[in-house]
Amino acid sequence: MSMSLEAPIVTAIFLCAMAFENASKGLILSIQKFGQSKTPVPAIMIVANILSLAFGPMYIWSILAKTDCQDSSLAFKVVMHLFFTSFSFFLLYKTWIVSQKRTLVAVGAVILILNRASWTVLDWMWSKSEETKFGCHYIQDKTAIVGISTGGIAVDIFYAAYLSGTDC
């Protein structure tokens, strides 16, 4: 393995370890809050933190894999998209609560989650990995990544625009 390849992998492992630690703390706090209130917000965060705990190790496995490229990349993509979608769901749910459960906000949130979920499924189907002599090479579908990215940005704009107009 060349030096130029090792440094990014070490950096990725380090960043994933930091994220794992943060998600572990978040999971503990979410479980404690859920035990106190039994409300949906801590429950959503429990799911998001569990998926976040799986995200780092799955990513490292997918970049270090030398065989079974399709399996490792699909497993990583499933966890990654479920994590991103669960966090988007959290943001949109909180926005709906802050809006005092307005129907228009709920409709917008449902549309955005369905958009995100649609692009998730399409990415699972369209993006591929192939085995090379150097290991697995991930091939991201160009259309899917645009849809995934714009779906995430749309969620961010929706909740930020709504919350910027409130006294929360």
Q: For 108-154, write each residue's pLDDT tens digit.
A: 999 999 999 999 999 999 998 888 777 778 889 999 999 999 999 99
Asked whether residue 74 carries a pLDDT value surpassing 60, the answer given is yes
Asked whether residue 166 carries a pLDDT value surpassing 70, the answer given is no
The predicted-structure confidence for 12-37, as pLDDT tens digits, reads as follows 888 888 988 999 999 999 999 898 98
**If pLDDT is split at 50, 70 and 90, which confidence band does 103 have?**
very high
SS3 call for 98: helix
Residue among 76, 30, 39 nearest 55 (CA): 76
| Mean pLDDT lowest among 57-66, 73-82, 85-94 | 57-66
Q: What are the φ and ψ backbone dihedral angles of 131, each rounded to 5 degrees? A: -85, 130
As a whole-number percent, the residues of the chain with pLDDT over 70 amount to: 95
Instruction: Check residue 167 and give its pLDDT.
Output: 59
Instruction: Check residue 54 and give its pLDDT.
Output: 92
Please tell me the distance from the alpha carbon of residue 168 to that of residue 98, in angstroms, as a whole number. 7
Q: What is the average pLDDT score of the chain?
A: 88
Instruction: Check residue 91 and give its pLDDT.
Output: 94
Asked whether residue 4 carries a pLDDT value surpassing 60, the answer given is no
pTM of the prediction? 0.82
Asked whether residue 10 carries a pLDDT value surpassing 70, the answer given is yes
**If pLDDT is split at 50, 70 and 90, which confidence band does 2 have?**
very low
Sequence-distant contacts of 104-113: CB under 8 A, at least 24 apart:
105/162, 108/158, 109/158, 112/88, 112/151, 112/154, 112/155, 112/158, 113/85, 113/88, 113/89
Cβ proximity of 92 and 113 under 8 Å: yes
Which tokens go with 37?
A: 């209130």
